[in-house]
Amino acid sequence: MKPLRPLVDAVINDSRNAWWPAPGNRSRQLHLTDDDRVDPMRVATPAGPATGWEMYAQKPEHRVETSTELTVAPGETTISGAHADLGYGAGDWFPDYPLRQTRLCVSDDARVYEINRPEDWHGLVMRYGDPGSYRGPSEQLLDLAGIDHGPAPTWSAVAADWNGVHLTLAGMFTSSFVLVSTADATTTLWAWEFERTPWLQPVFNAATPLPPLEEAPDGSGFLNPW
């Protein structure tokens, strides 16, 4: 990674990519699901300590998650980070199509924690997690990728101060698989594959159904939507 650091810095700081660290557009949050039982307007607030799955997957187990809708060229089917993830097939969600798509509007007073760099994830874990309860890495993840993911936030504690946690596109590029170590713990954000916000409290004041997504989109235009 170190030999590539100047290139990474140049790309991240290029003025053409100034939109990468932007907060999510609150009036254009997209929710995709293949489960007809899911109502995106009903957000379950996390409760209790972090589960083993939440420690591994680094997300609340029961969540409503959105990705920001982008302004794209006519005919472009990749209109958010979630669409790009489906198009590339890089994530671990293999849904049954068609997918329900809903555009959600987030309340102006919603409190959103922004992750733009690896230190932001580390700070979230240190403030709201319990590093002392961490029992070590997933053996499978360690064997396959050599990744010790470290502790994760306790999402019920995060929800007391924040309504959602947003990983920006810049945050995804700069933070994924990057170890941050302090005297208390080492953390590695590894399980957030695209720009996204898991919501921890009910924050939506409008929902607009969009046409269903009939098949996996073409993700080739995502990094240059304009």
Q: What is the arithmetic mean of pLDDT over 4-30?
A: 85
pLDDT digits (tens, 9 = 90+) for 122-162: 999 999 998 878 887 778 778 777 888 889 999 999 999 99
Q: Which residue has the higher pLDDT, 136 or 32?
A: 32
Q: What confidence score (pLDDT) does residue 68 get?
A: 97
The contacts of residue 133 (CB under 8 Å, 6+ apart) are 49, 50, 151
Q: Which residue has the higher pLDDT, 143 or 60?
A: 60
As a whole number of angstroms, the distance between CA 201 and CA 49 comes to 17
Token output for 147: 């990744």
In this prediction, residue 225 has a pLDDT band, given cuts at 50, 70 and 90, of very low
Q: Which residue has the higher pLDDT, 220 or 110?
A: 110
* Residue 130, CA distances (Å) to 66, 116, 151, 155, 201 in order: 27, 22, 7, 11, 21
Scan for tokens 């994830």, then name that residue: 121
Q: What is the arithmetic mean of pLDDT over 58-67?
A: 94
Q: Is the dihedral of CA 88, 94, 97, 99 positive or negative?
A: negative
Q: What is the arithmetic mean of pLDDT over 15-24?
A: 88
Q: What confidence score (pLDDT) does residue 219 get?
A: 59
What is the residue type of 87? Answer: G
* Residue 183, CA distances (Å) to 118, 148, 151, 187 in order: 16, 16, 14, 12
The proportion of the chain whose per-residue pLDDT surpasses 70, expressed as a percent, equals 94
Q: What is the arithmetic mean of pLDDT over 1-16?
A: 74
Q: What confidence score (pLDDT) does residue 4 get?
A: 66
The contacts of residue 117 (CB under 8 Å, 6+ apart) are 170, 171, 174, 175
Prediction pTM value:
0.90
